[in-house]
Amino acid sequence: MRFNSIQFAIFLPIVFLLYWFVFDRFISKSKWQLRLQNAFIVVVSYIFYGWWDWRFLLLIAFTSFCSWGSGLLIGKAKTKKKAKTWMWLNIVLNLGILALFKYYDFFATEFAELFNLSTDGLLLRIILPVGISFYTFQALSYSIDINNGKIEPTKDIVAFFAFISFFPQLVAGPIERATNLLPQFLKKRKFDYDTAIDGTRQILWGLFKKIVVADNCATFVDQVFSTYPEQSGSTLFLAAVLFSFQIYGDFSGYSDIAIGTAKLFGIKLMRNFNVPYFSRDIAEFWRRWHISLTTWFRDYVYFPMGGSRVSKAKIVRNTFVIFLVSGFWHGANWTYIAWGAYHAILFLPLILLGKNRKYRNIVAEDRFLPTIKECFQMMLTFLLVVLGRVLSRSRSIGQAWEYFCGMCNESLFTKPFLYAGTKRTMLLIAVMLIIEWITRRKEHALQYGPKIPSWLAWIFSAAIVLIILEYGGNSQSFIYFQF
């Protein structure tokens, strides 16, 4: 079930009403209230997830049960060695399932090509379960955190299943840690009107970014990438720029909808995007882009390898490992690995010079406008990100090379060809950027402060609704569903 579908528009209000007015009000005196409320979350989450293919439910249930059981075994282990053994068994099991569904055909194809073999009977050609990379990493963090003493294993299997399958963030994140999300399912939740209103506004802003920005960008991007040999360099460059805004509007829009929806149910999810296109260098960009994934790799891969507290040679190794693994996490294709290597190369000078943590605050924190230097830094960082997007959007390394060659010639300085509606799309992107710049210190763009009268806030929100209805593009699936 997609957030931008009629089905979800019907599903969410029904679930919301049942959650608060049946499982909270009418059975509030029952000692089973919390468990029934969590069981309800599990049921509706499985309905939400099974909307694509009910067979996927068997896999997520198996992952959840094994991870829950491994947590108990780690907690009961009498020695650290035995606890670590149970942790690694769960890691191998979950990563094995992920590898089978997501990477087997890729490696099998590469093996066949290397030895000039036929792929007949070699490939599984199985459907990739939606969101498997997200909930697998969430399950892994649970057993790792128990082994590291950061959280106690829970005996409440219903709460644990709710933690793994919570429908707002199930298929595309944020990738939550058990230390943050699981305890919220172990205590009573109370309805808070202000939080629900804030969540509704965050959902609205997420829909704006997805339906108005991302889906309109997709029309131009798809047309150009499908005919790239015929396009001028300027048109190819514009498509790469619009794809950068498409993927941002698409993925950060999903995250806003997920976080806002969770607020409706009294659950707080971590922030996943923090105005990344206002970054002054590539290190700051990665602190602001897909935060739940970058911090996951930092805590569970980079730090265990020694992080930055090792020799320069090992820092280089650790940096490349992180970005290559991150690239491969995004997809079983050499283009994603190349994309990861590209960002590692961009990151290395900052790491080696000790400048990777230079920009920890928001740009122009105490000013309305950035300085000329900050403008140049943001434009250069954005340009570097745009060039990398060509790799992630291309079907192969060969196509990416041809795209770069087509873009980097004298036609780059000509007027780009604009399809119908492209100028309007660029105007809508500008509207998004202006709003996000003004509200860059907020959690999301429609989080109004106390100085804003409520009537003005409602008018502005209504204007966003009208823009969505009037200028929404053709409905597209969320890009990160494929990951």
Angle (nearest 5°) at CA 107 between 102 and 112: 140
Residues 385 and 393: their CA atoms lie apart, in Å, by 12
Residue 264's pLDDT is what? 96
Say if residue 447 is exposed, middle or buried (CB neighbours under 10 Å; 0-12, 13-18, 19+).
Answer: middle
For residue 266, is it left (φ>0), alpha (ψ between -120 and 50) or beta? left
User: What's the farthest any 2 CA atoms get from each other in the chain?
Assistant: 74
8 A C-beta contact, residue 447 and residue 198: yes
Residues 409 and 429: their CA atoms lie apart, in Å, by 27
Please report where in the chains the tokens 């569903």 appear, as a residue.
481
Alpha helices by DSSP H, 4-103: 6-21, 33-50, 56-76, 80-102
Residue 463's pLDDT is what? 92
Closest CA to 399 of 409, 391, 411: 391
Catalytic residue selected from 290, 330, 343, 444: 330
Residues 7 and 21: their CA atoms lie apart, in Å, by 21
Q: Is the peptide bond before 168 cis (omega within 30 degrees of 0)?
A: no
Mean pLDDT by 10 residues, the chain (483 residues): 87 93 65 84 94 88 95 93 94 93 84 78 80 92 94 94 94 89 91 93 95 94 93 95 96 95 95 96 95 94 87 89 92 92 94 87 91 96 96 93 93 90 94 94 87 84 91 77 64
The answer to whether residue 444 is catalytic is no
At residue 449, the 3 state secondary structure works out as: coil
Residue 128's pLDDT is what? 81
